[in-house]
Structure 1
Amino acid sequence: MTRPANQTRSDAVRNRDLLVTAAREILAEQGLDAPMSAVAKRAGVGQGTLYRHFPDRLTLATAVLEENVRDIEQVASRPDATLADVLGVVTWQMIRSTAFIGIVRISGEESSQDLADRVRATVARLPTETHSTDDIMLAIAMVSGAVHGPTPEAREATVRRAWALLGLEIGPVAPGH
C-alpha cells in the first residue's frame, strides 16, 4: 500500500528535523568530526535516511550551524545592538557548541566559509571606535581556543577571563532568540 504524497513529505520533514536536532546535540558534544552514525542513531533513523537528507558531514553541520549564525545576525540587526551584545551571543554559542568553534576557524570549505563570512559581515556592521573587524574576528578565534572546562559554567568563566584579558566587553551570555 502506498502512502499519500503529503504523508511522505511530512515524514521527510520530520526525519530532517530529528536529524538536525540530533546533530545539534552530537556536534555540541563532539565537534565537527563527530561520526555521522552517531547522529542517525540519536535521531532514531537509519543511515540511509541521514545521507538522503545530508550527503556529507559538512552539509549536516552547515544546517545545524545556520541557526547559530542567524542568532548572531538577529541580535546585530536590533537598532540598539552593540558589539558587546553580539559577543555575548557568540560566547554562549562557544561554550555550548564545539562545532560552532570550528566554523570560527574554518577556511577553505565553501559552505563553512560562507557561515564564517556571515559572522564577519555581521561584526563589520556594528559600531566600534577602537577595533577593526579583522581584530574582532581574530579575538573571537583566540577566545574560542580558550574554551575548556567540564561544565558550561566552567567554560563560561574561562571565556570571560579571556575576553577581559583582550579588553573586550561582552553582553549577556545568552542565546540570541
Structure 2
Amino acid sequence: MQTATPVQRRATRPRADALRNRERIVTAAREMFVEFGPDVPLDEIARRAGVGNATVYRNFPDRDALVREVVCSVMDRTSEAAERELAETGDAFEALSRFVHAAADERISALCPMMSSTFDQHHPDLEAARRRIEDLTERLMERACLAGRLRPDVGVGDIMIAVAQLSRPPAGTGCLSHDRFVHRHLQLFLDGLRAPARSELPGTAATMEDLRRA
C-alpha cells in the first residue's frame, strides 16, 4: 500500500491561515445575523471578517451553506458549554443553570429560527449537532434530578422553549438592547425548576419531539 508523501499530505490538509479565515467568516456571520438578520449582505460579512469576497465564496458557495455552518457552530459551542458543566463535580442544579445562561449567550433564539426558512433541516451536520446538544442537556437534567435538585415534571423541551422564548426578540429587531433582561428572566425561570416543586404543572413535560412536531 502506497503511503502519502509529506507534500501530498500538506496538499490535502487545509492550511492554518485558511482555517483561521473560515473561522473569522463564521464568527462575523454569527454576529451580523444576530444584529441584522439572515439577509445581511455577504459583502458586509466579508468586510467584518477582514477577508475578501472570494474567500467567503471559496468557503461557502451560497448563503444557505454559511447560515447552516453558523447554526451548527452555535449549537456546537452550546454543547461544549454543557460538556464543561458535566465535567464539574459541584452542585448539579447550578451546573444546569450555568448551562442555560450560556445557551442564551450563544443566542440560539436568534439563529435557530433560520433553520426552518433558509435550508434543509435534515442536513446531516445539523442533525448531528442537534442530537449532541439534546443528549447533553438531558444528561445535565438527569443529574440534577437524581440529586433531588430539579423538579421531575419537566423535560428537555421545556428548557429549550424557555431559552428560546426568554432570550428573544429574534435577530435584527434590537435584540442586543434586551441583554439586560435575558439573564434576569432566565433566573426567574430556573428558580421555578428547583425541587421541591411548589405547584403542579398543567399538561405534560415537553420533549424535543414535541417541539419538532410543532
Map of 1:66 onto structure 2: 76
Task: Give TM-score scaled by structure 2 length.
Answer: 0.58
The one-letter code of the counterpart of 1:112 is L
Map of 2:187 onto structure 1: 160
Map of 1:124 onto structure 2: 138
Unmatched runs of 5 consecutive residues or more in structure 1 = 170-177
Pair 1:97 & 2:122 matched: no
Say which of 77, 94, 97 aligns to 1:87.
97
CA–CA separation in structure 1 for the residues paired with 2:50 and 2:161? 35
Pair 1:144 & 2:154 matched: no
Alignment check: 8 A CA contact 1:104 1:141 kept: no
| Cα-to-partner distance string for 1:124-168 (whole Å, 9 max, x where unaligned) | 223114436x7133232134212246242222112222333xx22
Find the structure with the greater CA-based Rg: 2
The one-letter code of the counterpart of 2:155 is D
CA–CA separation in structure 1 for the residues paired with 2:41 and 2:91? 37
Partner SS state of residue 124, structure 1 = helix
RMSD, matched Cα:
3.2
Pair 1:39 & 2:45 matched: yes
CA–CA separation in structure 1 for the residues paired with 2:190 and 2:114? 17
Q: CA deviation at 1:81?
A: 6.1
Cα pair distance change 1:116/1:160, threshold 3 Å: same
Map of 1:172 onto structure 2: none
Q: CA deviation at 1:42?
A: 1.0
Alignment check: 8 A CA contact 1:75 1:86 kept: yes
Alignment of 1:12-31 (within 5 A): 12-30=18-36
Task: Give TM-score scaled by structure 1 length.
Answer: 0.68
CA–CA separation in structure 2 for the residues paired with 1:14 and 1:22? 12
Cα pair distance change 1:138/1:62, threshold 3 Å: same
Alignment check: 8 A CA contact 2:75 2:133 kept: no
Alignment check: 8 A CA contact 1:106 1:112 kept: no
Partner SS state of residue 166, structure 2 = coil
Alignment check: 8 A CA contact 1:73 1:122 kept: yes
CA–CA separation in structure 2 for the residues paired with 1:24 and 1:60? 6
